[in-house]
Every structure is written in C-alpha cells, then in structure tokens.
C-alpha cells in the first residue's frame, strides 16, 4: 500500500513538474506539430454545411486546420470552404471522378493528400460517406480508426459511445495518424462565414474505381433535415398505418416547423421512409425538442435521441420506457392527443 | 467465370435486448453471465448468402458459404447458428475470453482467409452492436483493393456473372452502385428477414466442420492500437414526470423553452 501510494505521489509530482516546465515552451510547439485535415462533403457543387462539424472538432484539437474537398467543378465548393471560420487552407481536387464519392478512388486520393500534407489528424463526419470512406483510408494507412467520437480529451484521447450509447468509452490511440469520424450532434458545424483560407490544388493519383455510381433515390421533403433539425416529431408503431402516420404526424411537424423521424418499427412496417429512422442503426439526433408519439422507447431507439435537449412523449402505455427519459410525458391515445396538440399549437 | 465462394464473418455480442452494464472498475462492460447472440447484422449476411444460393440468383451458382468468427471459445455458438441457417462450414480464430480484437486486426485476419480460401464475395454486417465502429467491411475492402458497397438494402447480380448492383442506404434515401466481383458488401437491416434455424438444421449443423485456429497460426500480427482508458455509464436522464393533458404538455414545453 505504502509503496503504491508512494509511486503515485511521485507520478503526481512529475506530472505537475511537466506541466509547469512545459506550459510556456512546449505547448505552442505541440500546437505547431499538430495539423488536422477536415474532410468536407459536397453534393452537386454545394458544400454540405453539416460536414463542418469536422472543422469544429479540428479546432478543438488546436494546431492548423486544413479542409479537403474533391469533385467535379469543385471551385465553388472550395470557395465556400475558404470562407469557413477557422480553416487556414483548403486543398481541393477538381475531377469529376470524385463527384459521386466512391470510396474506391476517393480513398487513394485522400491517402495521397494525407501523406503529402503530413497531417496528424484526419477528421470527417460519421455519415454514410464517412463510414464507407474512412475505414478504407485507415486500412491503407495501417491505422485503427476511432469512430463516431463525441468528445476530445487531448490529441491522443477521445470519447465515444459504445453499446448503443449505453456506455461511454475513453480511448487512447497509439497510431501516428489519427483517423477520426465525429458524431455530428456533438460538434456543431463551424461558422460558414468569417474565414479567409487560401485554396490550393491537391494531388490527384487518378486511381480507378472498381464501382460505378448508377442512380439514387432520395426522399424529397420541404421540412428541415432530420440530422440538423432543431425540432423533431417522431412516430412509432402506435401510428398503425402509413396513412395515419402521414395524417397525424406530418401536420404536427408543420405546426412546429419540425423534421419528421420514425422508430425502426414504423419504418419496418412501411409507415415511414427508411431515411427517417432514428436510433442506433439509423440517424443519431440531438434537437432542442424531440416529441414522439407511439414509441415505446427500446434501447436501440433511445441510442439515437437521448441526447435531445427536451424529450416529450405521448403514449397510451404509462409503463413505456420512453417515460423514463421524457421531460414531459402524456399518457393517452395518440390519435386523440396529437391532433389536439397540433390544433392548439397552430392557434398560438 | 467461377461460382461464388462467399465468406460471412460473424461476431458474438451481448444480445441486442440486454441493457449492458459497466463493470465496477470502469474498464469494460460486464459480459459474464449475460446473454450473448449473433450480431443482428451478421444474421442478415448469412441469410442473404443462403438466399443467393437457394434462389439461384448468381448465374454460376454458389460453391460454398464459409462462416468465420474471431472470439473466445464460446463464439463457436454463433458459428453453429450460422451453419444451422445454411453456411457450409466454419472457421474459428480463437482468442482469450475478454480479448477484443480491433477492426483493423479483424480485417487483416480476414484477408488471410480470403487469400487462402479463394473467396470472391464477402458479406459483413454494417456494424457490430457492441463496439458500434462500422469499420471492418471497408477496411477489408481497402486491404484487398476490392469493390465495396456499404449498408446494402438490395443485392442483384447481373447476367454477365461479373456485375453486382447494390442498393445502399445513404443519408436522405438510397443510392445504387455497380461493383464487380470480387466484392465486399455490408448489410443493413432492410436487406432481408433472417430465418430461424429449424431443429433438424440445428442438429445437422453439429456435424458440419469447424476449423479452429489460434491467432498465432494465422500469421497475422495483431497489435492493439487503441487503449481503453475508461468506460462509464452515460449520465442518466431524469424523466421529468407526466402531465395530465395536452394543455399541460404545451405549458411544460414552453416552461422548458422547447417551443
């Protein structure tokens, strides 16, 4: 016991000494060594502002922040990125081959630019593209990626949820290059204005892609985007049919100016589109208000919404687990309560 | 062109319905005495492989479906389940209880199997529900230099025996890409509805062959890159109690500044 506490005291003193002696000299040196590359997403010549959370995470690390964009006619996207607050330099690669974000050629492209730029941290959103691209990049660099982080302790140590958010792990990486995807809701997008970064052409290895893009089928909606919405109304199995889902949840969403989400049960039953699924295997959201009806609150669903500021729930089962996390719970039949709520909100 | 030789990696994880608990020393999740089962996304991979064979969806047919796992002795259970669902045989890379091999290590181990077994299609789950990393599939594709399609909700083979059309779940909808064999596909929940293994098939699966390998025999150097410093429970949310009616709900939401 004595010897153990003895060592810990020594360690403690050493740490103190290191901080004292190093605080003035080594901190700026460290910051100079650290350089992050934020990989930004674009679509059809438009910068995806949701991807600017990567810039925020890079800024938290300290050190220089470079942004990376690639695609056909990339100049507009690069210019938009250059205005983002906190970015020193934008590396852009103009080649239509990268327009469809295929990991087979985008990964070698990124690897070449990472090697050329000597970045220590590569950061991207844990989006569909981030999830398909970054592990491929990590494997090519022989690095163990750190996925979906929600916090940064220091340049080696990161916080991420595991087990559907039922546990929070702190992990330390020993890799020289850190490949990181971030949880969008944990890092607000950087300001799109106020920056004045230089734009520079990146290198283009022109690798072939063994897959080709064929088509897409995107759900069109005038409502706010689910991933970034300030308010979300979400429906579950309790809605009983697609007609009821549309007839009951959509007016409520419009009354609140909210995005629409759904539980897996609602999606599997065909009440709502797959892209609206909130949960461990769908989208992770953290709006100001998450108002759900007919959702019991399975752990897989809670994984996707329990960081919301305010959770409100309407469910006829008073024992539904959703009430254990809801700030405001109303026990009642959603077919009565939701239309009443919609009407009363509309009058305000 | 040759027939399909499909590799399906599966993982034994804590059952999806169990609420995981952090151990008292805050170093890991308690696993002892907790119900485990096959990672749900891996069930989809097995099911899809078996359907490709049963429905004769590939012009040159399916030669073999190999289920693979890396884990402690008990992981044999999930291999047996995979074989009861229709996989032909199993490969088990055995590690010590409690040893978690990182996705990069798993991808390297899988690369060895692919080379050795002449595999040309790999179906993996899009993520395991314990570590939630979503990495192994694309990492393996990177190591092999193969086509990849992640989060598949539909897989179609073209008549030429080379092209594979995969509908992927992406943010905002779906996207279809055309890859060529050999290829890696990761499965999303919408891909299919996995079957239950019937009792006769469970009995038959007991006779199917499982090759057991120690990590040392694979020739792969596994070095952990991530050190788990701490595992904690997330801050608990306080249910704020219930309101009587819709007016009460609106009043409370206003009070909380949510509307």
Tokens 């953290």 belong to A286
pLDDT digits (tens, 9 = 90+) for B118-143: 999 999 999 999 999 999 999 999 99
Residue B1: pLDDT over 80? no
Q: Out of B20, B146, B228, name the one closest to residue A210 (CB).
A: B146
Q: Over the range B16-49, which residues count as b (16 or more CB within 10 Å of their CB) and which as e?
A: beeebebeeeeebbebeeeebbbbbbbbbbbbbb
Question: Rg (Cα) of chain A, in Å, rounded?
Answer: 23
Say yes or no for a CB contact (<8 Å) between B138 and A281.
Answer: no
CB burial of B140-154 (b: ≥16 within 10 Å; e: otherwise) equals: bbbbbebbbbbbbbb
pTM summary value: 0.91
The pLDDT score that the predictor gives to residue A223 is 92
- Fold classification of A35-201 is Rossmann fold (3.40.50)
The structural architecture, per CATH, of the domain B4-256 is 3-Layer(aba) Sandwich (3.40)
By the 8 A CB rule, do A64 and A173 touch?
Answer: no
Q: Would you call A324 an interface residue with chain B, using a CB distance cutoff of 8 Å?
A: yes
- Average pLDDT for chain A: 91
ipTM confidence = 0.96
Q: Compute the nearest-CA separation of A209 from chain B (Å).
A: 8
Of the two residues A20 and A203, the one the predictor is more confident about is: A203
User: How near does any CA of chain B get to the CA of A134, in Å?
Assistant: 8
- The fraction of chain A above a pLDDT of 70, given in percent, is 91
Return the residue of A nearest to B23 by Cα: A167
Q: Is the dihedral of CA A97, A101, A106, A109 positive or negative?
A: positive
- DSSP reduced 3-state for B181: coil
**For chain B, how many helices (H) and strands (E)?**
7, 13
CA nearest to A325 within chain B: B239
Structure tokens at B154: 């539909």
Radius of gyration of chain B (CA): 21
CA nearest to B150 within chain A: A132
pLDDT digits (tens, 9 = 90+) for A253-278: 999 999 999 999 999 999 999 999 99
* DSSP one-letter string for A153-212: SSSSEEEEEETTTTEEEEEEE--SSEEEEE-GGGSPPPPSSS---EEEE-----PPPSSE
Q: Is A29 on the interface with B (CB under 8 A)?
A: no
Residue A279 has a pLDDT of 96
Fold identical between A35-201 and A231-346?
A: yes
Q: What share of chain A has pLDDT > 90, as a percent?
A: 87
User: Which CATH number, 3.40.50.300, 3.40.50.1220, 3.40.50.11890, 3.40.50.880, labels domain A231-346?
Assistant: 3.40.50.1220
Mean pLDDT (chain B) is 96
The full set of domain ranges for chain A reads 35-201, 231-346
Q: What is the pLDDT of residues A74-113, one digit of tens each?
A: 999 999 999 999 999 999 999 999 999 999 999 999 999 9
pLDDT band at B239 (very low <50, low <70, confident <90, very high): confident
What is the mean predicted confidence (pLDDT) over B147-176?
96
Which positions ≥6 away from A154 have C-beta within 8 Å?
none
């Amino acid at each position: 016991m004595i010897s153990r506490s003895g060592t810990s005291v020594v360690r403690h003193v050493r740490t103190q000494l290191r901080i004292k002696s190093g605080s003035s000299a080594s901190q700026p040196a460290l910051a100079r060594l650290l350089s992050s590359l934020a990989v930004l997403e674009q679509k059809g010549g438009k910068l995806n502002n949701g991807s600017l959370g990567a810039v925020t995470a890079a800024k938290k690390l300290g050190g220089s922040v470079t942004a990376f964009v690639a695609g056909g006619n990339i100049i507009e996207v690069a210019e938009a990125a250059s205005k983002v607050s906190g970015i020193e330099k934008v590396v852009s690669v103009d080649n239509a081959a990268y327009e469809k974000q295929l990991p087979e050629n985008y990964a070698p492209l990124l690897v070449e630019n990472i090697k050329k730029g000597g970045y220590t941290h590569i950061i991207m959103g844990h989006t569909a593209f981030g999830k398909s691209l970054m592990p491929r990049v990590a494997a090519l660099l022989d690095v163990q990626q750190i996925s979906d982080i929600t916090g940064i302790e220091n340049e080696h140590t990161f916080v991420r949820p595991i087990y559907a958010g039922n546990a929070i792990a702190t992990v330390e990486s020993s890799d020289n290059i850190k490949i990181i995807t971030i949880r969008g809701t944990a890092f607000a997008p950087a300001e799109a204005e106020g920056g004045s970064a230089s734009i520079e052409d990146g290198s283009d290895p022109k690798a072939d892609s063994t897959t080709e893009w064929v088509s897409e089928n995107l759900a069109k909606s005038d409502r706010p985007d689910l991933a970034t919405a300030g308010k979300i109304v979400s429906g579950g199995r309790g809605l009983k049919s697609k007609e009821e889902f549309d007839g009951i949840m959509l007016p409520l969403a419009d009354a609140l100016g909210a995005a629409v989400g759904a539980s897996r049960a609602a999606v599997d039953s065909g009440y709502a589109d797959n892209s609206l699924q909130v949960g461990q295997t769908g989208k992770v959201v953290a709006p100001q208000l998450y108002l759900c009806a007919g959702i019991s609150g399975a752990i897989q669903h809670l994984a996707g919404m329990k960081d919301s500021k305010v959770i409100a729930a309407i469910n006829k089962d008073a024992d539904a687990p959703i009430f254990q996390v809801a700030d405001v719970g109303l026990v009642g039949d959603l077919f009565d309560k939701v239309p009443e709520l919609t009407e009363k909100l509309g009058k305000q | 062109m040759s027939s399909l030789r499909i590799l399906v990696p599966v993982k034994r994880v804590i059952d999806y319905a169990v609420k995981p608990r952090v151990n008292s020393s805050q170093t890991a999740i308690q696993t002892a005495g907790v119900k485990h089962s096959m990672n749900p996304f891996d069930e989809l991979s097995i099911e899809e492989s078996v359907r490709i064979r049963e429905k004769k969806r590939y012009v040159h047919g399916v030669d073999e479906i190999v289920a693979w796992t890396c884990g402690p002795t008990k992981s044999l259970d999930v291999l047996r389940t995979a074989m009861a669902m229709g996989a032909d045989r199993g490969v088990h890379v055995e590690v010590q209880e409690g040893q978690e091999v990182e996705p990069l290590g798993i991808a390297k181990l899988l690369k060895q199997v692919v080379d050795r077994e002449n595999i040309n299609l790999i179906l993996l789950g899009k993520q395991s529900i314990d570590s939630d990393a979503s990495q192994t599939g694309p990492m393996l594709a990177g190591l092999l230099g193969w086509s990849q399609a992640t989060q598949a909700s539909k897989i179609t083979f073209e008549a030429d025996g080379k092209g594979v059309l995969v509908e992927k779940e992406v943010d905002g909808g779906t996207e279809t890409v055309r890859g060529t064999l050999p290829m890696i596909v990761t499965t999303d929940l919408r891909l299919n509805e996995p079957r239950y293994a019937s009792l006769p098939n469970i009995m038959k699966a007991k006779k199917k062959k499982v090759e057991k390998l120690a990590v040392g025999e694979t020739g792969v150097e596994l070095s952990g890159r991530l050190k788990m410093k701490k595992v904690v429970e997330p801050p608990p949310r306080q249910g704020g109690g219930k309101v009587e009616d819709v007016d009460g709900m609106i009043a409370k939401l206003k009070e909380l500044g949510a509307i």
